[in-house]
Amino acid sequence: MAFSLHGVNVPHRKNTATIPAVRMPVPKTVSIPMVMHIGKPAKPVVKAGDHVDIGTLIAEQDGFISSPIHSSVSGTVTKITDMLVSTGAFVPAVVIESDGENTKADLTPPVINSKEDFIEAVKKSGLVGLGGAGFPTYVKFNTDKPIEHFIINGTECEPYITSDTRTMIDDADDIAEAIEIVDKYLNVGQFIIGIEKNKKEAIEKMNAIAAKNSKVVVKVLPSRYPQGGEKVLIFNTTKKTVKAGKLPIDVGCIVCNCTTMAFITKYIKTGMPLVEKTITVDGACVKEPKNVIVPIGTALKDVFDFCGGFKEEPQKILYGGPMMGISVPNAEVPVLKQTNAILALNKKEVYAPKQTACIRCGTCLNTCPLGINPEAISRAYDLRDMPKLKKAGIEVCMECGCCAYNCPASRPLVQINKMAKIAYREYKLEQEKEANK
């Protein structure tokens, strides 16, 4: 597939970019799901009645692609129950009642003398990609292939979200130290900080890092969605193309979110695992939009209440931004490790225009940053023609929504692509079963 600078110009709405993050009070209870990462769910190691402190291990990694989970409050485990999450599935969750004491577990910084020690430390920290994907970070780092380009993602191209911007401004020293730590143990060729041009103060902070480290280059990119997509960012910073079925490391690249980098420094200094997250709280329904430091597992309702509550009843609440964000079933769902924003949107913001027939105008093809043809995918999906789905590029689609955003017929192209991907995965599994008979 042909990569390009295609994409869409979306309204920025960075209303909270100048607002440093503030810490909210500890909630009465937190509900911490065992699925906050790509891969196998974590396995609970606590039971009802157990006392936990901030940083106590409550669930262990269960498999190579998995991640441990730690308590974000001090208090008592009240139950382990099934929780409805935004995917529509029920997953186990550990519910903890806070004692209000904020007692921290007896933790010590990790001892690191080698690459293996470093990767083990990242694993034990519970760190996953904090830009939204949730891929266990230690797995990404655990490679013997040469890392020519380590790309730090500071693009934050979705409307509303500014939590990464605040990290680059407020925690720039932590990012700088993380670069030195990663370089020491992973032996990186070059660090590239990719950042959109609309983040002037953050660019200044990142340029200051580059001025002190000859291995660091800051690449200021057009403010065009989806600049932060992994494959798009790799292409726009290195001109390398990650082909279908391949990983960034196959072209000598690792991409790591800027907030993920800042956390690495904090963990290595303190030993405190991933138990809280800075998130942007915004949308037309929110009385006081702001960036908030939130204990993981806090109900969205408690976060919105901290931001003054609602000006009007939301029509939709999202994890993340309006382009790739996920609608939640209710405001009782918790903040997750990979949550970077929660939005409460009104009727005007979520209005869906009436769908009309496709006119074969090619707008979707011309705006797709990965050069695939959503209209061809739609036709192949309607016919359930799996070879044509593959040929049309269904495996490459990153579900960014550019096609649907610019479609003059208002067709739900990204939703069609998502369903087509599910159908194609099921088809591949059936093919593998047949081949193994």
Q: What is the pLDDT of residue 219?
A: 98
For the domain covering 115-270, report its CATH number: 3.40.50.11540
Q: Are strands 190-196 and 326-327 parallel, antiparallel or unpaired?
A: unpaired
- Which residues, at least 6 apart from 315, have a Cβ–Cβ distance to it below 8 Å? 345, 346, 347, 349, 350
Residue 185, Ramachandran bin (φ over 0: left; ψ between -120 and 50: alpha; else beta): alpha
Q: What is the pLDDT of residue 5?
A: 57
Q: Which residue has the tokens 């970070």?
A: 137
Q: What is the pLDDT of residue 433?
A: 87
> Cβ atoms within 10 A of the Cβ of 289, count?
22
**CA contacts within 13 A on the Cβ side of 131:** 20
Q: What is the pLDDT of residue 4?
A: 52
Alpha-carbon span 297 to 30, nearest angstrom: 5
DSSP codes joined into one string, 183-250: HHHH--SEEEEEEETT-HHHHHHHHHHHHH-TTEEEEEE-S-BTTTSHHHHHHHHH-----TT--GGG
Domain boundaries, the chain: 115-270, 363-435
Handedness of CA 403, 409, 414, 419 (dihedral sign): negative
In the structure encoding, which two tokens stand for residue 326, read together? 């996920």
Q: What is the pLDDT of residue 1?
A: 46
> Alpha carbon 371 to chain centroid distance?
23
Task: Give the distance between the most distant pair of CA atoms in the chain.
Answer: 64
Bond preceding residue 92 cis, omega within 30 of 0: no
Alpha-carbon span 349 to 282, nearest angstrom: 12
Alpha-carbon span 156 to 162, nearest angstrom: 7
Q: What is the pLDDT of residue 2?
A: 47
Alpha-carbon span 231 to 233, nearest angstrom: 5
In the structure encoding, which two tokens stand for residue 373, read together? 């043809």
Q: What is the pLDDT of residue 435?
A: 87
Sheet of strand 326-327: strand arrangement: 22-23, 290-295, 276-282, 341-345, 316-319, 326-327
Positions in the chain whose pLDDT score sits under 50: 1-3
